[in-house]
Amino acid sequence: MRTPRSARRTLISVTAISATLLAGTATTVAAAPAEKTKAAAAEQATAASAASAAAAVAAPAERLIVGYKSGASEAKSNKAAGADAEAKGKDAGENLDFQRRLGTGAALVDLGKKLSKAAVADVVAEYQADPQVAYVVPDRLNKPLADPNDTEYSKQWDLFESTAGMRVPGAWGTTTGSGVTVAVIDTGYVAHSDLAANIVGGYDFIADPAVAVDGNGRDSNPADPGDWYADGECGQPEGSTSSWHGTHVAGTVAAATNNGKGIAGIAYNAKISPVRVLGKCGGYDSDIIDAITWASGGTVSGVPANTNVAKVINMSLGGGGACTSATQTAINNAVNRGTTVVVAAGNSNANAANFSPASCNNVVSVAALNRAGSRTYYSNFGSTVDIAAPGGETRTTTANGILSTLNSGAQGPSSESYDYYQGTSMAAPHIAGLAALAKSAKSSLTPAQIESAIKTNSRALPGTCSGGCGAGLADAAKTVQAVSGSDGSTGGTTFTSTSAVSIPDNSSSVESPIAVTGRTGNAPSALQVGVDITHTYRGDLVIDLIAPDGTAYRLKSSGSDSADDVKTTYTVNASSETANGTWKLRVQDVASADTGRINSWKLTF
């Protein structure tokens, strides 16, 4: 919807670890009370140790940074840390060397020279098996990040500004979207030199020639002939020029970058498959359903097999009414094939639950934020919204919109151009681009894992959102770092509780437990706590995370916030806590007149 390094040091890279070690480093685990046999628990612990050893060296490094627990002698004594390095090196058959103490108290350990592939993992595993070690991470090599040389990049506040930008440049050092195709199900594609290098074959699914306005019905050419209409047409008293909507959306996802002109795309080495479903006056559900099916690798009668199957679909389109079973079936099938479906929440300043496909299940529904990080005046909202992204507001200043690729033609195609648009249509491709980055960074991710990663690694809105904007403002750098392991995490495992717990009005606290098993050492310093709570006055709520030893971490205090619900992700420094054990979410309503429910919550390590 428009609107100079010593030669003796050894670089460690992901190729130094066997495929066996790398397998299964990101999983989703549902909290369950069932006990495991000792054999099964031992097998899980072994697998977890191997997986975390692989994750710890997933990025290039010359040395290791070892954090010891506060009570360990190695945490305070350089002599003890040196002796420990020597002992662990001996156990691994290598010569390790304690270098110095970091400002945080961690030990810097040189890895020596000529380490074999197996020896690298052995060294990491030795440290991870030590109960006195809180963490072991690579001493990664960082490089300066230069801005793209695209001439209009400075105008793309939505990518880089600290207030409400999506921190996209921070993700580019890890991935730029290579190997992923994004299907833009929209008005098709009008030729643009800033997109051409990333366009692959698509399809025109508009069956009605009157809507297609290209002289025929369905065909293999997704070219956009223009969607203009005259006064009195399309149920509108005034006519409109052509929008070139699909091309604008596609540019946000994957415009060519560092080519010395135009704009930068979010996943600029991904490919775009233009799939045409919108023509004059819009497009029908039937065509959109077939487009979803085909784009995700399904079979559509009379249409050739898709040779550019998309792992991400963007649909910046929609209409009134809840999601139908017909559309939901197509989306479910696409997700089951491994395709993440991203949709716009809608531009009616209303509850997205009353619009489709924004209200469909198994989609990532996206609300729009302005340059200050608040929900735009037009964006839909509500519990069906999953995440928020920049959508822009052009009513006061055009430059506060989203700049992307376009065409100057009022009716048919003319010269290529760039222009600012606003809309949840512009917000959705930000998330589609991020989904492509995540999939490129870790190809084994499922659509559910991609959605979870985007939501879990979002940040609190800089501004406000009455009605609910999902988990927060998407953060590309944080999301990509999390899924790739380049944030120094040791696996990215998520533990979830979906058992609903009622929150009584102005009464004692209630708790929801999650049993965490199979982890090694302590919880991370950036433990992600995802919370989904329904409540009619969230200002009444006090929310705490309770560690296995009973330590309480305050997530939210009570206040005068009159908005509904708490659907967000908190970050907790839980590095002093043992990871394994029963964690609890404690919630108390401290004022009268409102009640609620814990729908679900999760911990991501």
- The catalytic residues are 186, 245, 425
Report the 3 state secondary structure along 512-538. Answer: EEEEECCCCCECCCCEEEEEEEEECCH
Neighbouring CB atoms inside 10 A of 556's CB total 18
Separation of alpha carbons 296 and 602, rounded Å: 29
First and final CA of the chain: distance in angstroms?
Answer: 36
Residue 70 per-residue DSSP state: T
**Over the Cα atoms of the chain, what is R_g?**
26
DSSP letters along 477-513, please? HHHHHHHHTTTS-S---EEEE---EEE-TTS--EEEE
Q: Is 429 exposed, middle or buried (0-12, 13-18, 19+ CB in 10 A)?
A: buried
289 in the Ramachandran plot: left (φ > 0), alpha (ψ -120 to 50) or beta?
Answer: alpha
Beta-sheet strands, E only, within 363-439: 364-369, 387-390, 402-407, 416-421
Peptide bond into 274 cis (omega under 30): no
Separation of alpha carbons 176 and 199, rounded Å: 16
Query: Measured between alpha carbons, how far is residue 18 from residues 12, 251, 322, 462 in Å?
Result: 13, 38, 48, 42
Separation of alpha carbons 236 and 484, rounded Å: 48
Question: Nearest 5°: phi and psi at 305?
Answer: -60, 145
Task: Give me the residue label for tokens 């991470």.
Answer: 137
Separation of alpha carbons 176 and 266, rounded Å: 8
